[in-house]
């Protein structure tokens, strides 16, 4: 379907004149739209392979954005989320050859791929910490699980085992098992440790909170001039979850000294200074973290990194069906990079724990 036909259904300020591919997401397809007046919008086609029930997902987003906007209004502050643009018949999406949605593009904002300063990273830590704390009274039972068991690390390992067995039995993919054998062994050696936080969640030893669940640095929009928080974006995975994974996911992305697909493993480290900066911001903003949550912050960073490595490995063994890839063994390269980061965290384990202890005193 032509973009004009899709966009014609939304309440834009004027006629769209261009629509170009935009952004670095690995799941949804994103486009930047400009209208006749010069106003810009973001059009997204939601990936139905990942998100099986898009109307339910959009209901979550409307619920959370409405709630945070109302709360900000009552408190006389700014809301840091962007509500979807409605269609002419009052819906938040259009269904044609897929599900499409629109939001306004935030002018003079930047989304960063790596912290350019301590202040940037601190600002992101405060943003994600505040997000959880602002949603602490949100009726979590009304949220749909947009991806069931999304950060259930034990379940991620179960799926990994399945993919491994299937790949071994498939002559087209057996080569991939051989190619990834060291990474598979490394991940399996850590399987029981990787399940600890999920187990604690099930036993209610860690609180289930409303969390973002995809706290990549580039899901924060900062003001290009002041570098202050404007918006937290990508609310597709807002669901009940663990604060430790929101914390950890941003650490594994932002405190890493290299990109998610760096091939030179010697370059991949968890920067302890950035780790400290982020931890300070997150602990200050997410005010009611329990004693266990604080103590387990380093484990949150390590396990979510391991979980993502296992997800990349699973997708590699499956023949690259989930994450967008740019070359043949891209998912294996990503898994190697994540595992190198896990290894580095293990080497710095005492230091990570003492930083956290110092901050949470």
Stretch that binds ligand GN1, among 19-27, 128-136, 168-176, 273-281 (CB under 6 A): 19-27
Residue 2, SS3 per DSSP:
coil
Which residue among 120, 234, 318, 344 contacts ligand GN1 (CB under 6 A)?
234
CB nearer Mg ion, residue 62 or residue 353: 62
Taking CA 262 as the corner, what is the angle to CA 121 and CA 51, rounded to the nearest 5 degrees? 75
Span 31-50, contacts to ligand GN1 by CB under 6 A: 50
Q: Which does 308 bind (CB under 5 to 8 A by kind): Mg ion, ligand GN1, none?
A: ligand GN1
β strands within the chain, DSSP E: 16-21, 29-35, 40-46, 94-95, 99-104, 109-110, 209-211, 220-223, 229-232, 239-241
Which residue among 123, 134, 234, 271 contacts Mg ion (CB under 5 A)?
234
Sorted by sequence, the CB contacts under 8 Å of residue 127 that are 6+ apart come out as 80, 220, 229, 232, 285
CB nearer ligand GN1, residue 3 or residue 322: 322
CB nearer ligand GN1, residue 86 or residue 329: 329
Which residue among 214, 261, 262, 344 contacts ligand GN1 (CB under 6 A)?
214
Could you tell me which of 200, 172, 357 has the C-alpha nearest to residue 283? 357
Alpha carbons 302 and 95: distance in angstroms, whole number: 39
Determine whether 221 is exposed, middle or buried from the number of CB atoms within 10 Å of its CB (0-12, 13-18, 19+).
buried
Which residue among 123, 134, 183, 214 contacts Mg ion (CB under 5 A)?
214
Size of the site for ligand GN1 (CB under 6 A): 10
Q: Which tokens sit at 125?
A: 């830590």
129 binding ligand GN1? (CB under 6 A): no
Q: Which tokens sit at 40?
A: 């810009």
CB nearer Mg ion, residue 131 or residue 275: 131
CB of 142 to ligand GN1, least distance (A): 20
Stretch that binds ligand GN1, among 24-32, 90-98, 292-300, 342-350 (CB under 6 A): 24-32
Could you tell me which of 261, 357, 335, 346 has the C-alpha nearest to residue 301? 346
Could you tell me which of 191, 171, 227, 183 has the C-alpha nearest to residue 307? 191
Query: C-alpha 233: how far from its chain's center?
Result: 10
Span 175-194, contacts to ligand GN1 by CB under 6 A: none
Stretch that binds Mg ion, among 96-104, 192-200, 232-240, 259-267 (CB under 5 A): 232-240
Span 247-286, contacts to ligand GN1 by CB under 6 A: 260
159 binding ligand GN1? (CB under 6 A): no
Alpha carbons 287 and 265: distance in angstroms, whole number: 36
Q: Which tokens sit at 202?
A: 């099930």
Q: Provide the pairing of β-strand 29-35 with 16-21.
A: antiparallel
Span 38-57, contacts to Mg ion by CB under 5 A: none
26 binding ligand GN1? (CB under 6 A): yes
Sorted by sequence, the CB contacts under 8 Å of residue 186 that are 6+ apart come out as 339, 342, 343
CB of 237 to Mg ion, least distance (A): 6
CB nearer ligand GN1, residue 234 or residue 276: 234
CB nearer Mg ion, residue 234 or residue 271: 234
CB nearer ligand GN1, residue 12 or residue 341: 341
Residues near ligand GN1, by CB under 6 A: 25-27, 50, 214, 216, 234, 237, 260, 308
């Amino acid at each position: 379907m032509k973009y004009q036909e899709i966009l014609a259904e939304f309440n834009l300020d004027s006629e769209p004149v261009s629509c170009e591919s935009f952004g670095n997401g690995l799941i949804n397809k994103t486009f930047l739209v400009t209208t006749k007046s010069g106003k810009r919008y973001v059009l997204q086609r939601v990936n139905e392979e990942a998100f099986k029930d898009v109307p339910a997902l959009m209901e979550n987003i409307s619920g959370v954005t409405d709630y945070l906007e109302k709360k900000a209004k009552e408190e006389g502050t700014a809301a840091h989320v962007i509500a979807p643009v409605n269609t002419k018949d009052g819906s938040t999406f259009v269904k044609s050859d897929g599900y499409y949605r629109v939001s306004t593009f935030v002018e003079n904002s930047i989304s960063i791929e790596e912290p350019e300063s301590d202040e940037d990273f601190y600002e992101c830590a405060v943003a994600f910490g505040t997000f959880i704390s602002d949603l602490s009274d949100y009726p979590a039972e009304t949220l749909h699980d947009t991806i069931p068991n999304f950060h259930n690390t034990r379940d991620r390992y179960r799926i990994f085992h399945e993919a491994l067995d299937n790949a071994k039995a498939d002559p087209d993919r057996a080569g991939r098992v051989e190619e990834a054998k060291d990474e598979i062994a490394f991940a399996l050696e850590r399987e029981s440790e990787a399940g600890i936080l999920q187990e604690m969640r099930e036993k209610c030893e860690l609180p289930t909170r409303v969390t973002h669940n995809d706290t990549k640095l580039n899901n924060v929009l900062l003001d290009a001039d002041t570098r202050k928080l404007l918006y937290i974006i990508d609310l597709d995975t807002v669901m009940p979850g663990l604060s430790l994974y929101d914390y950890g996911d941003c650490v594994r992305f932002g405190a890493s000294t290299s990109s998610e697909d760096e091939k030179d493993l010697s370059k991949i480290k968890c920067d302890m200074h950035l780790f400290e900066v982020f931890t300070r911001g997150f602990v200050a903003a997410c005010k009611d973290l329990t004693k266990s949550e604080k103590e387990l912050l380093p484990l949150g960073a390590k396990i979510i990194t391991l979980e993502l490595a296992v997800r990349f490995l699973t997708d590699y063994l499956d023949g690259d069906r989930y994450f967008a890839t740019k070359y043949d063994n891209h998912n294996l390269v990503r898994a190697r990079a994540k595992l190198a980061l896990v290894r580095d965290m293990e080497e710095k384990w005492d230091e990570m724990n003492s930083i956290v202890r110092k901050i949470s005193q």
